[in-house]
Amino acid sequence: MSGEDFSQFSMLDLFRAELATQSEALTAGLLALERDPVAADHLDACMRAAHSLKGAARIIDLVAAVEVAHAMEETLVAAQKGRLTLNRDHIDALLRGVDLLAVIAAGSEEDGTDPDRFATEIAAFLTTLEAASHPAAAKLAPAPVEVQAPLPEPKPPVVTRAETPEPVASNASGDSMVRVTAESLNRLLGLAGESLMEARRLRPFHDELLRLKRLQTNTARAFEQLRAALPVSAGDKVALAFEEAQRHMVQSHEFLVARLGELELIDRRATDLANRLYDETLASRMRPFEDGVRHFSRSVRDLGRSLGKPVRLEIVGGSTSIDRDILEQLDAPLGHLLRNAVDHGIETPEERLAAGKPAEAVVRVEAWHKAGLLQIRVADDGRGIDLEALRAAILARQLTTEATAAHLSEAELLEFLFLPGFSMKGSVSHISGRGVGLDAVQAMAKQVRGLVSVTSERGSGTEFLLQLPLTLSVMRTLLVEVDGEPYAFPLTGIIRTISLARENIELLEGRPHFRLDERQLGLLTTHEVLGRGEPKLDSGELAVVVIGDRGEAYGLIVDRFLGERELVVRTLDPRLAKVQDISAAALMDDGSPVLILDVADMVRSAERLAASGGLRTLERRSAGAAARRRKRILVVDDSLTVRELERKLLDYHGYEVEVAVDGMDGWNAVRSDPFDLVVTDIDMPRMDGIELVTLIKKDARLRNLPVMIVSYKDREEDRARGLDAGADYYLTKGSFHDETLLHAVVDLIGEAAE
């Protein structure tokens, strides 16, 4: 018997707990009977579940539930004895009985004992069940009163100390379920992880003692050589002193060897115990995949029935273990994918038969472990995604130009499905069409540091693949060194790690880039993003971590790679709130802390740095290697053509040039880096050139910085307005040519190099 104390729970609470367990058995059995109505094992399991519920309801005097469960039991017994053959109408009615039991159990104790409280719903259920068995008689009988709102699908009750208990597991070993809060499990796992780290510290200590043993051996050898080198005339007194010292040295050596043996044994036992404690604690957080997806079998079946599409859900890899937190977060995303599969992907029975497919469609949910990650596949055997219809939907929503859309690959087209608000369905229904769903799936995957992708074959079906961590408590990471400190990148957020040669770095609009897989990626240092010192850029090749996703990606330069590590994640103190670019912390094998980087935050920080013109550390170090300092010019213009023309001209003549795309970008740049000259346009978005000049000349630190205006406006009042704002030179683009601009620059700041 279980040692649990259920005295604080009411009898209705206990019935709800039993209903949660028996409802799962009933639903699974009824769905199996829909495919094989005479399967004896499923008939027996369903009959026993209905009988158990009837008995439990009778004990607590839940009259309404007794009536429903009795009717279900009678129907199943009749099927067992061959008096009727279950059809889909029977299954519909019996499943509705399961829902009705959940509604009755959800009410108060007075509701259940009141024979009239659910009279209308019970009458409708009994009439429906009778009509399934005697369709001819149903035509003569008055139409039953239907429940207006669909009955909710029963779900397992939420267990807390003040609410319903978890059902007790009854198995051969006598094990039982106990209630442990998720917070307690998290703390326990953290302590187990710390004990593992502490146990691993014994090995380095043992190795240091081995080194001491070698040093002691060398000392003894040197002592012996010293004794041999003494003259024979040294006397007995000296010889006795040497013998006594040597005896003490041998004793200390033997003592050290014995303690080393003991320490090695303690190390093995402590590490083994800590590993087993950690593995067992981690296993307590894991649940079978089927626990979180079993209820979808009913949902998919009912949705298909409502749409006139017979659909069956197959669950493969149901025993695959998953972190309970991830399993809970998977509920809504998997629901979206399955509804989309039934509503969008599955054809009508007539279309399937015409295409040579079975009338009944199959949606498969599969889970397995691979390379330390959880892989979940949701696939259907429906019509697949019409890429041309998708291309038309993208153009209709003006998400890209017609020329670009025409050259998009299949993978690029399918990426649009994950955009918020995007839908290929022309009308909105209670099932889909609002453009909500796939973006939520992608958001959930990113939240747990995972990925989601989609593939489709026209006429054969669509497949979604989610790659998620096995647990949120343990993370596989890449350790890197930044400014002398270790940092951890989650492996799921890394696209690639590379050693980048300096000659492969290119400048685009004055900012460093490099080519990776036919893409130009921005390059910056992790030191810039984290605000940590200066990078070590003296070596020939740079250690680069490429982060991001299929949209935006950047290369981050680190000082060096430290290798891959599996870390026990420790959440940051809630009082710290959200720390920019940091997601969590962990302990290294030696007990020292390490910060785990938030890759999504890092990408956003890189975008902000790029927008503000902040990616300058790499160039600044490169320029510093030159024997003579090159004078630095900031070119501010919203026209890419003008910007590049001026940049190339000034760079060709020896100046170091930075660019900014508008006045706001330029203002951020002059405040963060030193320049010898600013060349700016007037008409620009966000902040025009006149306002930029005014801000520079009002700033006490920048007021002596020369500013040149280059503009198409050649009226005298425009020139006066620019000079009044504080500009040191005004040049019109209409009269612009190479020599004019260069002469003006030389007049203001001199030659390119000092």
pLDDT tens for each residue of 654-666: 888 888 888 888 8
Q: Residue 433 above 60 pLDDT?
A: no
Q: What pLDDT shows up at residue 405?
A: 83
Beta sheet of 511-516, edge-to-edge order = 494-501, 541-548, 553-558, 519-525, 511-516, 506-508
Q: Residue 737 above 70 pLDDT?
A: no
Q: Residue 612 above 70 pLDDT?
A: no
Cα–Cα nearest to 600, from 528, 555, 535, 552: 552
Output 26 or 753, whichever has higher pLDDT: 26
Output 522 or 695, whichever has higher pLDDT: 695
Model confidence band, residue 350 (pLDDT cutoffs 50, 70, 90): very high
Model confidence band, residue 153 (pLDDT cutoffs 50, 70, 90): very low
| 144-148, 504-508, 616-620: segment of lowest average pLDDT | 144-148
- Mean pLDDT calculated for residue range 218-223: 82
Tokens of 86: 């279950």
- Mean pLDDT calculated for residue range 513-530: 84
Model confidence band, residue 563 (pLDDT cutoffs 50, 70, 90): confident
Beta strands in 632-686 (DSSP E): 632-636, 656-660, 677-680
* Residues 118, 100 contacting (CB under 8 angstroms): yes
Return d(Cα 320, Cα 299) in angstroms, integer. Answer: 22
Q: Report residue 264: phi and psi, to 5°.
A: -65, -40
Alpha carbon distances (Å) from 751 to 489, 621, 631, 643, 745: 45, 21, 8, 21, 8
Q: Residue 42 above 70 pLDDT?
A: yes
Return d(Cα 656, Cα 625) in angstroms, integer. Answer: 13
Question: Could you report the per-residue pLDDT of 184-194, keeping only the tens digit for each?
Answer: 777 787 777 77
Q: Residue 366 above 90 pLDDT?
A: yes
* Residues 658, 634 contacting (CB under 8 angstroms): yes
Tokens 């038309």 belong to residue? 392
Encoded amino acid at 205, one letter:
F
Q: What pLDDT shows up at residue 620?
A: 47
Tell me how long the chain is: 754
Model confidence band, residue 644 (pLDDT cutoffs 50, 70, 90): confident
Tokens of 752: 């390119």
Tokens of 45: 């399991």
| 21-25, 196-200, 456-460: segment of lowest average pLDDT | 196-200
pTM of the full structure: 0.58
* Residues 416, 390 contacting (CB under 8 angstroms): yes
Output 262 or 430, whichever has higher pLDDT: 262
Output 750 or 13, whichever has higher pLDDT: 750
Return d(Cα 732, Cα 741) in angstroms, integer. Answer: 10
C-alpha R_g of the chain: 37
Return d(Cα 278, Cα 274) in angstroms, integer. Answer: 6
Alpha carbon distances (Å) from 341 to 179, 292, 352, 532, 681: 37, 18, 15, 48, 54
Report the share of the chain in percent with pLDDT over 70.
84
Give me the residues paired with residue 489 across strands.
478
Q: What pLDDT shows up at residue 627?
A: 43
Report the Cα 551 to chain-centroid distance in Å: 16
- Mean pLDDT calculated for residue range 706-732: 83
Q: Residue 396 above 50 pLDDT?
A: yes
Model confidence band, residue 604 (pLDDT cutoffs 50, 70, 90): confident
DSSP string across 54-102: HHHHHHTT-HHHHHHHHHHHHHHHHHHTTS----HHHHHHHHHHHHHHH
DSSP string across 529-543: HHT-S-----SSEEE
Model confidence band, residue 143 (pLDDT cutoffs 50, 70, 90): very low
DSSP string across 646-657: HHHHHHHTT-EE
Phi-psi region of 372 (alpha: psi -120 to 50; beta: other; left: phi over 0): left
Return d(Cα 395, Cα 649) in angstroms, integer. Answer: 40
Residue 70: partners with Cβ closer than 8 Å, 6 or more residues away: 54
Model confidence band, residue 108 (pLDDT cutoffs 50, 70, 90): low
Greatest mean pLDDT among 194-203, 240-249, 743-752: 743-752
The three-point CA angle 643-741-651 to 5° equals 55
Tokens of 91: 């299954």
Question: Could you report the per-residue pLDDT of 277-311, keeping only the tens digit for each?
Answer: 877 877 787 888 988 888 888 889 888 888 899 99
Residue 60 neighbours by CB distance under 10 Å: 18
The average confidence (pLDDT) of the chain is 79
Residue 33: partners with Cβ closer than 8 Å, 6 or more residues away: 39, 42, 43, 46, 79, 86, 91
Q: What pLDDT shows up at residue 163?
A: 39
Classify the C-alpha dihedral 55-58-62-67 as positive or negative. positive
Q: Residue 156 above 50 pLDDT?
A: no
- Mean pLDDT calculated for residue range 104-110: 71
Burial class (CB in 10 A: 0-12, 13-18, 19+), 573: exposed
Q: Residue 149 above 50 pLDDT?
A: no
Model confidence band, residue 551 (pLDDT cutoffs 50, 70, 90): low
Output 162 or 282, whichever has higher pLDDT: 282
Pairing of strands 373-380, 451-457: unpaired
Greatest mean pLDDT among 175-189, 280-294, 570-584: 280-294
Return d(Cα 48, Cα 63) in angstroms, integer. Answer: 19
Return d(Cα 434, Cα 238) in angstroms, integer. Answer: 99
* Residues 154, 253 contacting (CB under 8 angstroms): no
Tokens of 280: 């067992």
Model confidence band, residue 750 (pLDDT cutoffs 50, 70, 90): confident
The three-point CA angle 381-153-432 to 5° equals 45
Report the share of the chain in percent with pLDDT over 90.
10
Return d(Cα 593, Cα 487) in angstroms, integer. Answer: 9
| 265-279, 490-504, 573-587: segment of lowest average pLDDT | 573-587
Output 198 or 514, whichever has higher pLDDT: 514
Give me the residues paired with residue 476 across strands.
566
